[in-house]
Amino acid sequence: MTDSAIDAILGQYNRPGVPGASVIVLSRGKVAYERAFGSSDLETHTRATIHTDYRLASLTKAFTAMSIMLLVKDGKLRYDDRVIDVLPGFPAYARDIRIRHLLTHTSGIVDYEDFVPDSQTTQLDDDDVLRLVHRTDTLNFAPGSAYHYSNSAYVLLGLIVQHASGVPFPKFLHDRIFAPLHMDSTVAHVAGVSRVPERAYGYTGDSAGHFSRTDQSSTSATLGDGGIYTSVVDMEKWSNALDHAALVGAAAMNEAWSPTLLTTGKESGYGYGWFVAMVNGEKQLRHHGESTGFTNAILKYPRRELTIIVLTNRTGGDPWDIADRIAALFP
């Protein structure tokens, strides 16, 4: 009964000639549902499968946060290190920002996308983002005093990982997260350098229901804030590793999954790469990911040992609402 109910929720993806969705539900340590719908590539009529690799967009941020957590575990970084002391080229006006502020979106650093004109066609890389944050000389607010979601923060964290570890960020992710967890189809994608094994391409629909390929934009090549491609099969391995504190200790995971306390005394609602909330007396962990042609969601209820992951290769579609509706089927 649950399978058919979930199938009904995903009906918009279960038609010929539309971009796909791959979905997995993990309940009490087991796969409760795992299915794919639609197409990963409309031009070649390739069907989406549970092995299809989607661009995670901002679901990447939890991996970037974990990279920092691993370097803290290694003793190479501390959460309260000033960024200016660990990242060459960081702007002087932001000297009071700590690594912790970047992780929790409480740094006040401007979002680099504010400086990217709609007319830009050349893709930005992470070094470009470091240059773009020099285009101002002020922060949005004093570090730690407020919350404001900033993609700049996570691109900069990726650069910090690269500098502190001495290896490129994609290699660090592979060596310290993907390979140990046997996430064999997962890659931080760099065009011309890496290959995505079973790649989904992104699309955007018009009012008539026609989809056109919109796979990349000028901000689709940055890594720390959104550059990982993976499948729901590999995301199961990632989710299980988080639940069992397999990469860092339980205390570190608890810190990552707790809302940040602002200097005002209020909670921010964000931990280290995760939105954190209490919903009906139950801790909820979630993140959404949106970029040109891709929209994704992950939703976790630790008490229920429930995780729902929805990956899609289309703009829009509200996978977070889909995840909520699926969660309601697992009391």
pTM of the model: 0.97
- Phi, psi values for residue 31, rounded to 5°: -75, 115
- CATH number for the domain spanning 13: value is 3.40.710.10
Whether 34 has a pLDDT exceeding 80, the answer reads: yes
- Mean pLDDT of the region 118-144: 92
Domain tally for the chain?
A: 1
Q: Rounded distance, CA 288 to CA 303, Å?
A: 21
Q: Rounded distance, CA 64 to CA 169, Å?
A: 9
pLDDT per residue as tens digits for the range 83-98:
999 999 999 999 999 9
Q: In sequence order, which residues have a C-beta less than 8 Å from that of residue 273 and are 6 or more positions away?
A: 61, 62, 63, 64, 65, 66, 103, 154, 256, 287
pLDDT per residue as tens digits for the range 211-266:
999 988 878 889 999 999 999 999 999 999 999 999 999 999 999 999 999 999 99
pLDDT per residue as tens digits for the range 157-205:
999 999 999 999 999 999 999 999 999 999 999 988 999 999 999 999 9
Whether 117 has a pLDDT exceeding 90, the answer reads: no
Q: Is 261 helix (H, G, I), strand (E, B) or coil?
A: strand
Whole-number average pLDDT of the chain = 96
Contact call for residues 23 and 310 (beta carbons, < 8 A): yes
DSSP 208-221: TS-EEE----TTSS
Q: Rounded distance, CA 272 to CA 247, Å?
A: 15
- Confidence tier at 1 by pLDDT (50, 70, 90): low
| Tally of CB atoms within 10 A around 226 | 25
Contact call for residues 288 and 149 (beta carbons, < 8 A): no
pLDDT per residue as tens digits for the range 141-162:
999 999 999 999 999 999 999 9
What is the residue range of 116's domain? Answer: 2-327
